[in-house]
Amino acid sequence: MNAFERLCPAGPAWTVPWPDIHTEFDWIRRLDGVPQDAVHHAEGDVATHTRLACEALAALPAWRERPAEERVRLFAAVLLHDAAKPFCTAVEDDGRITAHGHSRRGDLIARQVLWEAGVPIAWREHVAALIRHHQVPFWALERPRGDLDRIVHRVSLLARNDDLGLLATADILGRVCADAGELLDNVALFLQYAEDDGCLDRPRRFPSEHARFTYFRNPTRTADYAAYDDTTVTVTVMSGLPGAGKDHWIAVNRPGVAVVGLDDWRDRLGVRPTDDQGPVIAAATDQAKTLLRAGTPFVWNATNLTRQLRARCIGLVADYGGRVELVSVEAPPEVVRRRNRARPRPVPDGVVRRMVGRWETPDPTEAHRVDWVLNV
């Protein structure tokens, strides 16, 4: 039993054990004293809001009716939804308090916390997706249609939109503000929007993997457009921390397939991981282009820990008419550290910690196929 299971409210009392939660998690203690703008959060600091949001969730009949595993997962999302505010809160020149970017950074913090807690990958990514988008239902229908569709569809592929609605509802009920009623109405409209699109409590369906891939790459494409699959070569793009086991996975699952490896190019060029990586990336890109022009399948082997970094590889492959299979390999924290330190040229611990801090797990919106592999 992990800490989230142990501390999640349960019937018949459904009490939130806040003192125990406060003792258990250092990231909860960091919320103490973090100020919030009185217009939106007259209840007090971030810790107070988080406690009230947890209590609000525990009182919701829709949450209590869920299976135990789903209750725990949603409770974890509420606990973590503002975990980034200590790092994002600022007092503006006019005295207003903001926390710009806390949803996106909260996604990263939640991933690290839950990875270290050892929860299943899909469970973790479900929570992280909810946190990244937890403010969307408040003003969803004010967004451009295409933007909202892609968020709703991404949430449906990684989590559930009705879960996002429950998180948003608990967030609203856990605050003191004048517009709570309006916000709750907006959440209801968001949920109706997702239901009308057929992805309230299930993944959005697409005509094909290629249709999904092109939809998320093309802002003018509609989700139901059956894009013609004209791919001619398959490229496997790896993602994972140093020591996660990417090389082992390639040896077992892609024997004999050409590999474009950044570590290989570092060796050839004499570039250390802490040096400028420009020459390494340029050499790897040239090799990849040569293989793509020849129609030769290959593996792109690099850490590729952020969506932005992966987009460079994926965009290149797509431009050459390639099919992209993303493989995310990971291992428990202690295994990653042990393997990395045993490498001939280990990545410094401080560098790995920074990598973990910006780690974005690949998701189904990025490629034709995405596999999450736990390599223990």
> What pLDDT is stored for residue 277 in this prediction?
85
pTM exceeds 0.85? yes
| Residue 274 clears pLDDT 90, i.e. is over it | no
In the chain, beta strands by DSSP E: 90-91, 97-98, 233-239, 258-261, 298-301, 322-330, 369-374
Q: Assign 151 a pLDDT band (cuts: 50, 70, 90).
A: very high
CA pair distance 363, 203, nearest whole angstrom: 13
Beta carbons of 40 and 85 less than 8 angstroms apart? no
The CA-based angle 135-136-138, given to 5 degrees, is 75
CA pair distance 283, 289, nearest whole angstrom: 10
Q: CATH number for the domain including 49?
A: 1.10.3210
Is 214 among the domain residues? no
Q: Assign 376 a pLDDT band (cuts: 50, 70, 90).
A: confident
| Residue 110 clears pLDDT 90, i.e. is over it | yes
| Domain extent for 338 | 233-374
Lookup: tokens for 114: 């839950």
| pLDDT tens-place string over residues 3-35 | 999 999 999 999 999 999 999 999 999 999 999
Q: What percent of the chain has pLDDT over 70?
A: 100
Q: CATH number for the domain including 308?
A: 3.40.50.300
> What pLDDT is stored for residue 56 in this prediction?
98
Is 331 among the domain residues? yes
Point out the domain boundary residue: 196, 220, 245: 196
| Residue 275 clears pLDDT 90, i.e. is over it | no
Q: Assign 262 a pLDDT band (cuts: 50, 70, 90).
A: confident
- Give the number of domains in the chain: 2
| pLDDT tens-place string over residues 42-93 | 999 999 999 999 999 999 999 999 999 999 999 999 999 999 999 999 999 9
| Residue 152 clears pLDDT 80, i.e. is over it | yes
> What pLDDT is stored for residue 300 in this prediction?
97
Q: Assign 305 a pLDDT band (cuts: 50, 70, 90).
A: very high
| pLDDT tens-place string over residues 121-150 | 999 999 999 999 999 999 998 888 889 999
The rounded mean pLDDT for the chain is: 96
Rounded average pLDDT over 338-367: 94
Beta bridge partners of 298: 235, 258
Same domain as 237, residue 349: yes
Same domain as 339, residue 245: yes
